[in-house]
Amino acid sequence: MKMIKSLMLGSAAGLVAMSGAQAADLPVKAKAVEYVKVCSLYGPGFYYIPGTDTCLKLSGYLRVDVLANTNADATGNTAGAGGAQNRFTNGYTWRSREGLNIDTRTATEYGVLRTYLNSTFSWTTDSYAGQGNGTTVYSPIGTASAPNNANGGAVAAGTLGVYYAFIQFAGFTIGKAISQFSTPWTGYPGNNFDGLVGGGGTSTGVNQFTYTAQFGDGVSLSLSAQDQSAYNQAGVNNLAAPFGAAGFAALGPYGASDYAGTISPDFIAMLRVDQAWGLFQGSLAAHDNHAAYYGSTEVTGHPDDKWGWAGQLALSIKDIQSGPGDTINVQGVYTNGATRYNIQELSAQAGANTIFGGTSVAGAYQSIGFGIAPDSVFVTGGSQQLVSTWGMRGAYVHNWGPNWNTSIYGAYAGVSYNGTAKTYICGPTGSGVGGTFGATFGVARLTSCNPDYSIAQLGTQTQWTPVKNLAFSADFTYTHLDQKYAGVISYPGSGAIGKPAALYELKDQDTYTLLLRAQRNW
Distance between CA atoms of 153 and 149, rounded to whole angstroms?
Answer: 8
Looking at residue 129, its amino acid is: A
Residue 72: which of 511, 408, 492, 520 has the closest Cα? 511
Contacts of 493 (CB under 8 A, 6+ apart): 499, 500, 501, 502
pLDDT for res 349: 66
Residue 77: which of 66, 67, 63 has the closest Cα? 67
Distance between CA atoms of 163 and 178, rounded to whole angstroms?
Answer: 9
Q: What is the pTM of this model?
A: 0.88
Give the three-state DSSP class for 141.
Answer: coil
Is residue 175 within a helix (H) or strand (E), and if so which, with residue range? Answer: strand 172-177
DSSP code for 339: G
- In the chain, what are the domain boundaries? 57-521
pLDDT for res 311: 98
Contacts of 59 (CB under 8 A, 6+ apart): 45, 101, 103, 521, 522
Distance between CA atoms of 237 and 425, rounded to whole angstroms?
Answer: 12
Distance between CA atoms of 488 and 505, rounded to whole angstroms?
Answer: 4
Distance between CA atoms of 472 and 492, rounded to whole angstroms?
Answer: 44
pLDDT for res 2: 46
How far, CA to CA in Å, does 496 sit from each of 81, 84, 92, 196, 491? 8, 10, 19, 27, 14
pLDDT for res 182: 96
pLDDT in tens, 141-158: 443 333 334 444 444 457
pLDDT for res 151: 44
State the number of CA atoms in the 13 A half-sphere of 421 facing the CB. 25
pLDDT for res 299: 96
- Mark the ranges of the chain whose per-residue pLDDT is less than 70: 1-34, 139-157, 241-252, 348-351
State the number of CA atoms in the 13 A half-sphere of 515 facing the CB. 29
* Topology given in CATH for the domain delimited by 57-521: Porin (2.40.160)
